[in-house]
Homo-oligomer: A and B are copies of this chain.
Amino acid sequence: MSADAQPAPVSAKPPVTLREVAAAAGVSVATASKALNGQGRMTAETRERIRETARLLGFRPNSLAQSLLRKRSFTVGLLTNDTYGRFSLPLMAGVSDALVDNGVSVFLCNVEDDTRLGQLHVEAMLDKRVDGIIATGKRIDRHLPVDLSNLRIPVVYAFTQPDPGAVGLVSDDAGGARLAVEHFVRLGRRRIAHVTGPASFAVVHTRAEAYRDVLRENGLAVSEPLLGAWSEGWGHEAVEKLFGKAGREGWPDAVFCGNDQIARGVIDALRERGIRVPEDVGVVGFDNWEIVAEATRPPLTSVDMNLSTLGREAGLALLSLVGGQWAAPGIRKLPCRLVVRQSCGSPPG
């Protein structure tokens, strides 16, 4: 090895500690600590000198040591089983956004649907003394595959089934469905169909119920929702069922779809049949998954569940629980919003 060889690993000198700052400023660690935290009493001159020294040395307190003492790590865990992040990522963005200003970081863990993995991650979080946990998932009527009910740290459930007595935030699916159907009604559509996902999903029923309510409230004929899959393929099939029969008179003039993929299938199938969207038939989707909604022709009007707001609220709720504040248990529903694009046309006349 030559004399000017690199020192073995990259690792430069270790981080500068409070002790070093204190030494450099000619005070005790206690005084240094107080100076930097704005605690204790000392001359303004001393305080400033210590601060300046710390700045010069690039001092940053060791979070590990702080957390150990304060019994707060300023870290929260975010648990999800939504592999593709379609729902969790906007939610996480909201959570992160709400917490970063409070100096809190977020640990994301994907537990898939694996209980063992879930348990593993939860224990790791507990060991690392996270201040709280936000549980989220890909559907609001299922639990994560892991028990969070007796955790000695606060837990908030967002967009997943909460444990009884816990704080839960979900989207207001009924409200979202109303938004869509009422939009159609306002535009003068009279024969509004509903094509949605499988019966095993609670939201399918929630939304169908709201759909029926709005139709009845407006004196319109209620046709049975078509349940199927959450796929484009099912959208195609549903168009077959709805528009296959001869009498053009019986055709719907609007289709409210359970998600954007179904809507995309519906729109494509209508175009193939020469049925114009939005002139002949209006279409509304659900989820406002931009990558899909903006690629349909015409671009898809869709119900947005405001997941990042949901995440933000979840973050704030957790924060106040961590702070010892009481938060109302039970499920809180947050409103959706309708993102209007071009698949429904304008009011008649």
Contact = CB atoms under 8 A, between A and B. Distances in A.
Contact of A60 (B123, B264, B268, B291): B123
Given A9-B324, A15-B152, A100-B117, A129 B63 contact: yes
Interface string A112-151: 0000010011011111110000000000000000000010
Interface in A77-105: 83-85, 89, 92-93, 96, 100, 103, 105
A295 interface: yes
Interface stretch (A46-54, A65-73, A240-248): A65-73
A22 interface: no
Nearest to A117: B100
A321 to B, nearest CB: 8
Interface in A1-41: 8-15
Contacts of A8: 324, 326
Contacts of A124: 63, 103, 105
B107 A12 contact: no
A108 interface: yes
A125 B125 CA distance: 16
A233 B299 CA distance: 11
B100 A120 contact: yes
A63 B127 contact: yes
A198 interface: no
A188 interface: no
A128 B110 contact: no
B123 A110 contact: no
B67 A232 contact: no
Contacts of A9: 154, 321, 324, 326
A11 B62 contact: no
A128 B75 contact: yes
A38 B251 CA distance: 75
Contacts of A105: 107, 109, 121, 124-125, 128
Interface centre among A11, A13, A64 (most CB of B within 10 A): A64
A296 to B, nearest CB: 9
A295 B152 contact: no
Given A63-B127, A231-B295, 5 more contacts: A62-B127, A63-B128, A64-B68, A106-B108, A261-B291
Interface of A: 8-15, 60-65, 67-68, 71, 73, 75, 83-85, 89, 92-93, 96, 100, 103, 105-110, 117, 120-121, 123-129, 150, 152-154, 231-233, 261, 264, 268, 291, 295, 321, 324, 326
Q: Which 10 A-B pairs have the closest CB atoms?
A: A85-B85, A108-B108, A63-B127, A12-B152, A64-B68, A232-B295, A63-B128, A85-B89, A105-B124, A64-B67
23 contacts: A9-B321, A11-B153, A14-B71, A14-B152, A15-B126, A15-B152, A60-B123, A60-B126, A60-B127, A61-B127, A62-B68, A62-B129, A63-B124, A63-B127, A63-B129, A64-B64, A64-B129, A65-B68, A83-B89, A89-B110, A106-B109, A231-B295, A268-B268
